[in-house]
Amino acid sequence: MKPQIVNSKMNKLLMQSTVIKMAIFTAVVLTAVLLTGSLYVRNTVFITDEGVTREIRTAQTDVYAILREEKYSLNPNDTVSYIKDEENNSGYIVIHRAFDVTISADGAVQTIGAVDCTVADAIEKAGITLGEDDIVDMNLSAEVFPGMEINVTRVKYVDRETEIEVLFDTEYVDNANLVIGNEDVLTAGENGLNTVYYRDKYVDGRYQGSEQVAVKVIKAPVTEVVERGTACAVPYAKLDDPSSIKLVDGIPENYNRIVSGKATAYSARPGALTASGRKAVVGTVAVNPNVIPYGSEVYIISQDRKYVYGYAIAADTGTGMMEGTVAVDLFMASYADSCRWGAHYVDIYVLSEGNG
């Protein structure tokens, strides 16, 4: 019987020893787990707010939970940045506090909370859409700062077109065969019509001015051509081309010299020749070739400006001219015309010198 008793005691002791060992092992394992878990969930976090940095330890993993736990309050426009350092079980939280920025546009002023954004971002946040030609007094890519005032000027261009009548010009053509004060319209003038395109500028809804950008000709104007007289009286010897001589106040604008004296008139049978060999026709005159060489171009007008023989060629001579009692004898188309002329004191404007 005794061995059985001994064996029973021994079994009991062995059982108690096993339970104790298991309890100790469990305690050791639990302690290790608890210690390890505590090191894992308790993180070091650095919180920076308005330049002040705090170091805290927390089991929270959510940024906003950490801030609530640490009694940090956020405004709607504040932003938060978070950097987590897994290796060192730490993190860095920076609170970016929003500040006021004033934006003026469309006659209204609004204040927004802004942080870490550009001028363009602030304008967009204010719900303002910029037009292509609008002007902002700040660089759109510039960073905003506390108290910044941004002004948006609305600029709008409006294109328009209108039809404008174009007045015709007047061109004057001198006629040495017409008396001063007489005019003849050679070509009637006509007004033209253009479509003119303008661009009107408005700044904040107020008209600032217009710029002409294009012109389309619908109808070109027709220049009026007016022939006007330049002679003191109607010339007897009319030029075929009155533009070949220019008169100013009835006298040639350009000449070499003036020979003054008495002018008489004569006529001859058709086909008669002059002393120089030219045919005697209206526009040929007799002179002293020693004073006015044959072939000289002259313009003859009475000194009282009432009678004008006009443009002529020195081609003939006669006794009165050679004796010096007459300066020039004017060829007329008929005897009656020569009688009507009679005799007048004239100025002979020598336009060019002949060679005989």
Name all contacts of 128-137 with Cβ < 8 Å and 24+ positions apart: 128/103, 128/152, 131/155, 131/156, 133/157
Residues 296 and 255 sit within 8 Å (Cβ to Cβ)? no
Q: How far apart are the first and last CA of the chain?
A: 190
* pLDDT (tens digit per residue) in 145-154: 999 999 999 9
CA angle 306, 263, 231 (to 5 degrees): 30
The one-letter code for the residue type at 331 is F
pTM across the whole model: 0.55
* pLDDT (tens digit per residue) in 201-231: 999 999 999 999 999 999 999 999 999 999 9
Does the pLDDT at position 40 exceed 90?
Answer: no
Q: What is the mean pLDDT of residues 297-309?
A: 96
Spell out the residues 6+ positions from residue 240 whose beta carbon is closer than 8 angstroms to its own: none
Q: What is the mean pLDDT of residues 335-346?
A: 96
CA angle 181, 182, 184 (to 5 degrees): 140
Residues 108 and 121 sit within 8 Å (Cβ to Cβ)? no
> What is the residue-wise DSSP string for 37-67?
HHHHH-EEEEEEETTEEEEEEES--SHHHHH
DSSP letter at 243 equals G
Half-sphere exposure of 150 toward its Cβ, with a 13 Å CA cutoff?
33
SS3 338: helix
